[in-house]
Amino acid sequence: MTALGAAAALRARQISSLELTLGCLARIERLNPQLNAFVTVTAELAIEQAKRADGELAEGLDRGPLHGIPVAHKDLLCTNGVLTTSGSKIFANYVPNFDAAVVDNLHRAGAVMLGKTGLHEHAYGITSTNPHFGAIRNPWDPERIPGGSSGGSAVAVATGMALLATGSDTGGSIRVPASYCGVTGLKPTFGRVSKFGALPLGFTLDHIGPIARTVRDTAAALRVMAGFDARDTASVDRPVPEYMPPAGELLLAGVKIGIPQNFFFENLDQTVDNAVHFMAYTAEDLGAELVSFRVPDGRQLNVIAQVTLLAEAASVHEPYLRRRRMEYGDDVRALLDMGRLIPATDYLQAQRLRRRILGVYLGLLQKVDCLLVPATPVAAPLIGQSEVAIGEAMEDTRLAATRLVRGFNALGLPVLSMPAGFSPAGLPIGCQLVGRPWCEAELLRIGAALEDRTELWKRESPYQT
């Protein structure tokens, strides 16, 4: 069931928030021992909130489309009185006395909090194979990773353990798990959604966004999560528009979609290439014009983003790394150590370069409404797999998973990740729609048109039924 489908059923009195919530809790109880999506389940709180939501609706108080909808929060978002571990030993016992901005926004919109979802340790990685909490498993094949770092959120949504979830994205951490798990995720424009109360990793790269079954559910969640927040120094004071795409058949006449000739379609698994081109031709069939052009070298942009993240993450973790070094997992400690060695001049030049490349992308995005590119070069790898085969070449699993997503964190552009197809083995494949700053509504409209036509979201994982 989608969040908006549940919302309609609630208002038609076909189901109550309590029934929805108990259904999700029962699913969590059944599936979480196998998939490990949740770190903490707040069942009593969820039941209390669901009863309140039902009472308010009965009294005529309707807080909007997410009123009474069960949601899950990534466990790096602070939750008042509820454990917030960041998937780490460092914060294993951290219980904040405040809510992160997006947690608060969703609460005020009437959403019901089911609990906290697992992640790659400190959100610094894409496998979600966590040394302290165990591996999170992909619902399409539990021997495979769900992607990360928001792995638990994507699994929760893909299996119906939650109808919506929050995620964070510093180098692809919403879009990679959305792609591997066959769900939709949005990394908004930098500054669109408050980062207040999100434990930081790369403070100029971190983005908070929704993960959902459908594009329209994503739009409903973004509407609630977005908005100015003076507590976040990156937050921008701009009006929050209506993001919900219109109902009915959406056509794409007059829409120009850019298909890069270089970088994004190089070194891909053939099934990924086919799936993303299928989406392009679907857009064309809906009336869009496909425009081919070259983009700046993505490998260079990735290096700029990597240098930035290595330095910023090492800066954030320095006090813990010095005193509690052995409490980090091996992979995260190795990255933090590397970050301590990044020259200050390289970090500073990276900031000048990202600004310059952003200028080039903004020029390209004057010619088209969005770019359509793959999310990951291959479908989900196996747990523990350190290299993936792409064509005849072997590539580091982590670098492969992030090479098509990471650069957009450095540019701050909005990116929608949505299903594009399935591999012959039945694993989901994702694509990205990349837009102009603050133009999430346009991305969501294009995404909804593609989703309505392809109906890929309706295919259910073995754990969904």
Partner 1 sequence: MSTAMGPDWKALAAAQKIEIDDKQRERLEALAKTMLGLRGMIDWSEEPAISFRVDPIEEAGQ
Contacting range for partner 1; rule: CB under 8 A; set: 38-46, 153-161, 257-265, 336-344: 336-344
Q: Which of 17, 86, 88, 173 is catalytic?
A: 173
Is residue 190 a contact point for partner 1 (CB under 8 A)?
yes
**Catalytically annotated residue among 16, 17, 74, 128:** 74
437 binds partner 1 (CB under 8 A): yes
Which of 55, 343, 426, 462: binder of partner 1 (CB under 8 A)?
343
Q: Does 453 bind partner 1 (CB under 8 A)?
A: no
At its nearest, how many Å lie between partner 1 and the CB of residue 227?
15
Would you call 150 a catalytic residue per the annotation? Answer: no
Q: How far is the CB of 134 from partner 1 (least distance, A)?
A: 25
Toward partner 1, which CB reaches closer, 152 or 188? 188
398 binds partner 1 (CB under 8 A): no
Tokens 């070259």, located at residue: 294
- DSSP letters, 132-175, are TTEE--BTTBTTB---SSSHHHHHHHHHTS-SEEEEEESSSTTH
- Looking at the Cβ atoms of 59 and 237, the one nearer to partner 1 is 237
Binding mask 130-169 for partner 1 (x = CB under 8 A): ----------------------------------------
Gap between the Cα atoms of 196 and 131, Å rounded: 27
444 is written with which tokens? 């969501």
- CA torsion sign for 348, 188, 302, 168 is positive
Amino acid at the residue 77? L
Q: For partner 1, which residue of 256, 294, 355, 458 counts as binding (CB under 8 A)? A: 355
Site for partner 1 contains 261 (CB under 8 A): no
Closer to partner 1 by CB, 62 or 346: give it.
346
Q: Is the dihedral of CA 381, 158, 192, 431 positive or negative?
A: positive
Binding flags for partner 1, 296-325, as an x/- string (CB under 8 A):
---xx--xx-xx--x---------------
CB of 202 to partner 1, least distance (A): 15
What is the rounded distance in angstroms from the CA atom of residue 150 to the CA atom of residue 212?
12
Minimum gap (Å) between residue 353 Cβ and partner 1: 6
74 is catalytic: yes
Choose the stretch contacting partner 1; rule: CB under 8 A; options: 68-76, 82-90, 223-231, 433-441.
Answer: 433-441
CB 84, CB 119: distance < 8 Å: no
Query: Does residue 386 carry a catalytic annotation?
Result: no
3-state secondary structure of 305: helix
Cα angle at 139 between 100 and 272, to 5 degrees? 95
Q: Cα–Cα distance between 150 and 167 in angstroms, integer?
A: 5
Residue 348 interacts with partner 1 (CB under 8 A): yes or no: yes
Confirm if 174 and 209 have CB atoms less than 8 A apart: yes
Binder of partner 1 out of 350, 371, 379, 415 (CB under 8 A):
350
**Closest CB to partner 1 among residues 289, 346:** 346
Q: Which residues in the 224-243 window bind partner 1 by CB under 8 A? A: 233-234, 236, 238
406, 306 contact by CB (below 8 A): yes
Give the nearer residue to partner 1 in terms of CB position, either 210 or 412: 412
Note whether 429 and 272 are within 8 A (CB): yes
Pairing of strands 289-293, 256-260: parallel
Site size with partner 1, rule: CB under 8 A: 39
Q: Is 334 in the site for partner 1 (CB under 8 A)?
A: yes
Q: Which residues contact 10 (CB under 8 A, 6 or more apart)?
A: 16, 17, 20, 57, 67, 68
DSSP string, 336-401: HHHHHTS-HHHHHHHHHHHHHHHHHHHHHHHHSSEEEEES-SSSPPBTT--EEEETTEEEEHHHHH
Q: Is the separation of the CB atoms in 267 and 390 below 8 Å?
A: yes
Which residues are designated catalytic? Answer: 74, 149, 173
Residues lying near partner 1 in the complex (CB under 8 A):
189-191, 233-234, 236, 238, 299-300, 303-304, 306-307, 310, 334, 337-338, 340-343, 346, 348-353, 355-356, 358-359, 362, 411-413, 436-438
